[in-house]
Amino acid sequence: MCMFNSRNPVFRYPTGAVANCLPVHFKIDMPRDLRCSAARLLVENDSTGETQVLDMFWCGMNGDNHEWWECHFAAKTPGLYFYHFEVATWRGVLNLHKGFGGEGTVMGNDCGAWQLTVYDRSFHTPEWLAGGIMYQILPDRFFSSGKPKADVPQDRKLHTDWSDQPEWKPNGKGEVTNSDYFGGDLAGITEKLNYLKSLGVTCLYLNPVFEAHSNHRYNTANYEKIDPLLGKEEDFKTLCAEAKKRGMHILLDGVFSHTGSDSVYFNREGRYSTQGAYNSQQSPYYAWYNFRNWPDDYECWWNFNTLPNVTETNPQYNAYINGKGGIVRRWIADGASGWRLDVADELPDAFLDNLRTAVKMENPEALVLGEVWEDASTKNAYGKRRKYLLGEELDSVMNYPFRDAVLGFVKGADPAQMMEIILDILENYPPQVIRLLMNHIGTHDTERALTVLAGAPTEHHDRRWQSETHLTEKQRQLGLQRLKLAAMMQYTLPGIPCIYYGDEAGMEGYKDPFNRGTYPWGHENTDLLAWYRKLGKLRGMLSCLKEGSFVPLNADDHTMVYIREDSVDAILVAMNAGGNSRTLYLPDEWRTAEPVFGEAPDRNCGLTLPPCSGTMLVRQKHPSPSGPFALGKPETPEEAVESIKDKIMENMEQEPKIKNELLDFLKNI
C-alpha cells in the first residue's frame, strides 16, 4: 500500500504549486506492524537552508492494518521548499523520501526530497493566451509581400529562388556570416493572417524583427528600428492591428543579453556614424559592455566575438530597455502583446524584475515568456537558484521538457518515463504558468520535428551531410504518422501548442540553417495541414483544453492515455506509438463517448488502437442547444444578448468563472 504520494490529494492537499500563506495538508499512511510512535515532516527552505520540523499527529485508522498521521504546513515566503518525512518505529527512525511517480519510499539513508513550489499569491498571468495556439515565424523565411524596400544594406545577398536551400558553407575567411536572405517581410505575414486564422492561431511569436546584420537577427544592430528588409514601423503597426482584428496577438523576441558587434551601440565594423563602445571609451554605450582590454578583448556571448555581452544591470542600459519610453514599453505601445526573452537564464534577476515592471506598466495583460531549456522552477544560473516562476519575473516559459516527452514517447521511449517528465512539470510549476506554457516540438534552435521523428541522427555527421540528406519516402511516411501523433499530444497537454512555421506543411531539415528553410507555399502536405486545422478547431471548441485538470490513466507498452477535464467538458486522449495494435479498457463513462479523432470504443471489448495512431473521445457536461461542442450563434444582436443573459443565470451558482467571462463580454455588446 502507498504510504504517501505528493500527486494524490488524499495525501497532500492541495497538490502542485501553492500560493504563499496557503496551508498544505499532509497525511502519511503507515503500516501498524511498524509500531509508529512518532512522525515528523521536515521542510527545508531552499533560499535559507533552514529546516523546519513539524510534528505529525495520529488521526485514525485506515482499515485494520494501517494508520494515518497528519499535519499542516504554510510557507509565508514565496520560494522552493523541499520536504520528506521521518517516522519513529520499532526498527528505528525511517526516512520516507520521494520515489518514482511521486510515491514515498522508506530508506535508511537520505534520498530524494519532494518539491513544494510556493508562488506569490498576487501572481497573475495574461488571460488572452490561455486555451490558444501559438505560431512561430522566422520572418525572412515565411512569406514575401514583394513590396520594394528602402535603405537595405548592400552587403546582403538576396536569393532569387524562394525554394533555394539556405547557405551553409563558410566564406573565404572560414566564417559563416548568415548574410543570405529570402526577403520574407512583415507585410507578407499580414497577407497570410487568414491562413494562420484557419489553423486556429491566436498568437504569432516572431523571431527578431529589429535591424540586424544576419538573417536570424539575433545580433541586434538597433532596437529602435524594424530591419529594412522586413519593412518599417508602420508595417509592424499594421500587422498588429490586422492580427487583433482576427483575434491574434503579436509576441516579439527580445534579445537583451547581448547586441551585435555590428551595431549602433558597439560599431566594431564601422558601419554607423555613431561612436560605439568599440570606437571610443567616451561613447555613451561604453559602460554597457565589459572590456578586459579595450577595444578588442571583451566579454562575448558564448565566445562569439560578433555578439558582445551587455551588462544588464548597468543603469543606462537598464533605463534604455526598461525605462519610461524605453524599448520594452515602446513596442508594446506600437501594438505588441508581449515579449519572448532570448536566453532568459542569462538575464539577472534584477533586470528581469525591471523588465516585468515595464511590460505590466505599459499593458498589465502583456506577456513575458522566457527561454529556459530545463525545469525552470529549479534552474540554477549566476551561481544561485532562479525565481522565474514565483510571480516577479516571467509569466511562463518555453516548455522543452514537454518536447522531450512528446518526441520521446512517439519514437518509442518508455511511456512511464515520458509521463513522469510531464507530471514533474505539472507538480512543480504554478497553475498560472502551466496554462501558458509554450509547448513546442520544434523551433529555430532544433531540428525539424519531422526529421527528428524519422530521420537518421546527426551524431558524427557534418554540415555537408546534413545539407545533402533528406528523408526517404519510407521515412517520410513514418515521420508523417508520428508527427500526427505528436501533434495530437502537443495540442492536448496543459499549456499552449506552438507550431514552428511549416511543420504543419511537412517541412523537414536538420540543424541550423537546414531547419530554417522557406515555407513551401503551394507545395504543402495537404493531409497533414488538414490534421492541424482539425486539431485547431478542437482546441477552439473545448473548454477543458484551456485550464482543465490532467488525469493520467495509462503509460506503458507504447501506449499513453490521459484525460483533460473541467466543469464544462472532458476529453480522453489515447495513443499507441508502437508497431502493433493495442486494446485498452476504458472507464465505463467513456465507452459511449463521442470520437472526434480515431474510432469509437467498443462497449464490450474496449478501445483498439492501430499501430502509430490515436483516438480522442469527448464528453460534454453542459451541452448547448446548438450542438455538442459550442454555443450556437443567434441571428440578431438582441437574441445574442438574451442568450448570454440566460447563460449567465444558468451559471450563477455552478460556474462563477464562466459567469464573469460572459458578463465581461456582455458589456462590450
Helices (H), 363-503: 400-411, 415-428, 431-434, 449-454, 463-468, 473-492
The number of helices, as runs of H, and strands, as runs of E, in the chain is: 16, 34
C-alpha torsion sign, points 585, 587, 592, 597? negative
The continuous run of DSSP H or E covering 642 comes out as helix 637-650
Positive/negative CA dihedral, 649, 651, 654, 660: negative
What are the residue ranges of helices labelled H in 84-139?
A: none
Rg, Å, the chain Cα set: 27
| 3-state SS, residue 55 | strand
From CA 377, how far away is CA 67, in angstroms rounded?
Answer: 34
C-alpha 242, offset from chain centre: 25
Contact indicator for 192, 125 with CB cutoff of 8 Å: no
> Is the CB of residue 344 less than 8 Å from the CB of residue 371?
yes
Q: Is 508 a catalytic residue?
A: no
Q: CA angle at residue 285 from 279 to 291, to 5 degrees? A: 70
CA proximity to 155, closest of 136, 171, 143, 134: 171
Distance CA 432, CA 429 (A): 8
CB burial readout 123-137, b (16+ within 10 A) else e? bebbebbbbbbbbbb
Where would I find the beta strands (DSSP E) of 148-281?
157-158, 180-181, 203-206, 210-212, 220-226, 249-254
- Active-site hit among 253, 345, 371, 424: 371
Q: Is the torsion defined by CA of 47, 50, 55, 61 positive or negative?
A: positive
Q: Which of 67, 342, 424, 565 is catalytic?
A: 342
Q: Is 371 a catalytic residue?
A: yes
- Distance (Å, whole) CA 644 – CA 624: 12
Element (H, E) at 26: strand 24-31
Expressed in angstroms, the distance from the first to the final Cα of the chain is 56
Catalytic residues: 342, 371
